[in-house]
Structure formats: structure tokens, C-alpha cells
Amino acid sequence: MSALLEHVMAPEVRPFAIAAAMILIVGSVEVVSMLVGASLSEMLGTTIDFGHPSDNGVINAISWINVGGVPPLIFLLLVLGAFSITGFLIQDVARMVAGPLPATIASVGAVVVSVPLVRAASGAIARAIPKDESYAVSLGDLVGRVGEVVIGPLDQGPPGRVSVADVHGNRHFVWAVAAPASGPLPQGTLVLLVDRAGTRFVAVKADDELKPSKPPLSS
């Protein structure tokens, strides 16, 4: 056991061990967030919209790698997993040939190999997930939906958070501000998302005929 631990924590494989540890951490955070009524995957999905062209080169690069458009959390786990496994394999092969490579060189090699692996895995996972059960929803699809203010009040200042369900019933937690002509919308208010600018929505108080029979978060 100690020999295995020494092997995993050796300086030349430390970046790959950290990536493996991050997989466990991210998975644990997702489980905890779901238990408290939130979802890390949904928060990531509504913070940045990877489904549409952007002026940001980094976002466009991520969209190209995530060719299947899998949810951001799954994409993050794919990247960490591919980088970790590839890095350990590179160092194991190097040990058998001559000796372990410097961590920096091995990391560069792991990144180069991981990009096509992640792209292929993303496409394969997307094909395996039925389209009518996909969690990938465009932010624009949430405009016109009724949600509940969970972090507020909403006004024309810094945005708060609104919990809103998409057409599939999956819950999203999005940033939102009150419309210019609207007064403050306190926490617990049912609101209608009427517009969007980037990842920030504009909300107004929902009319009575739009309100569900039960508040969205009480079910």
C-alpha cells in the first residue's frame, strides 16, 4: 500500500494524481449539492453557454472539443479522467524504456493525447444519450419560463439567483435581475423570465394565471 502511495505521489506523476483527486472532489460536491436541492452540473450549464458561437476563443475551443455537447460537468470529468489516465500511462511507458519524464513534459504529452480522446468520448456519449432525455438545454429556451427567486431580492443591481425548470422538468439555477420598470422581487417570489443578455436573465413578477398550483420548490 505504501509503495502504491509513493508511486502515485511521486513528483513526476503529481499533476495526474491531482487530476484524479479532483474527479473525486467534483463528484462529491455534485452529490452534496443535489442533496441540498441544487446541482453543480446545472449551475455550470447555465453560467456559460457552450452551445452557440462566441467571441471568446476559449469557449469556442471548448465547444470544438466537446463536439457532442455533453453537459459541462460530464465534459469536465472526461477532461480530468483522460488527462490523469494518459499521464500515468506515459510515465509508466517512460519508466520501462529509460526513466520517468519531467512532469511538465509528460503533462504536455497528456494534454495533446487527451484532446482527441475527449472529443471522441464526447461524441460517443452524446450518441448514446437519447435526444429527448438530454440535459443539454440552451439558455434561450428558458426565456418565457416561470421560476422562483432563491437568492434575492432581484433589482436592477447585482443579479440574484432564480430556480427554473426547463421543458424536460430539469431544474436550472440562473442569474437574473429585475426588469427596469419592476420593483424589487424578494426571495420566494414567482417570476417570469422575459429576456436574456448573455448568461443574465431579466425577470418580472409572474401574473396569477401563470403561477402553478404549487410553488416550484415545494414539490
- Please state the length of the chain: 219
Q: Half-sphere exposure of residue 53, counting CA atoms within 13 Å on the CB side?
A: 0
CA gap 78, 55 in Å, rounded: 25
Asked if 14 and 103 touch (Cβ cutoff 8 Å), the reply is yes
pLDDT higher than threshold 90 for residue 18: yes
pLDDT one-digit tens code per residue, 136-156:
567 778 888 999 999 888 999
pLDDT band at 191 (very low <50, low <70, confident <90, very high): very high
pTM, rounded to two decimals: 0.55
Q: Name the amino acid, one letter, at 156.
A: Q
CA gap 20, 54 in Å, rounded: 30
Asked if 152 and 174 touch (Cβ cutoff 8 Å), the reply is no
What pLDDT sits at residue 70?
76
pLDDT higher than threshold 90 for residue 90: yes
CA gap 100, 16 in Å, rounded: 13
Q: 140-171 b/e with 16+ CB inside 10 Å = b?
A: eebeebbbbbbebebeeeebbbbbbbbeeebe
What pLDDT sits at residue 215?
47
pLDDT one-digit tens code per residue, 98-139:
888 999 999 999 999 999 999 998 888 877 765 444 445 677
pLDDT band at 219 (very low <50, low <70, confident <90, very high): very low
Give the CA dihedral 24, 29, 35, 38, nearest 10 degrees.
-140
pLDDT one-digit tens code per residue, 33-55:
666 555 565 555 555 555 554 55
Residue 7 CB neighbour total at 10 angstroms: 14
Asked if 122 and 65 touch (Cβ cutoff 8 Å), the reply is yes
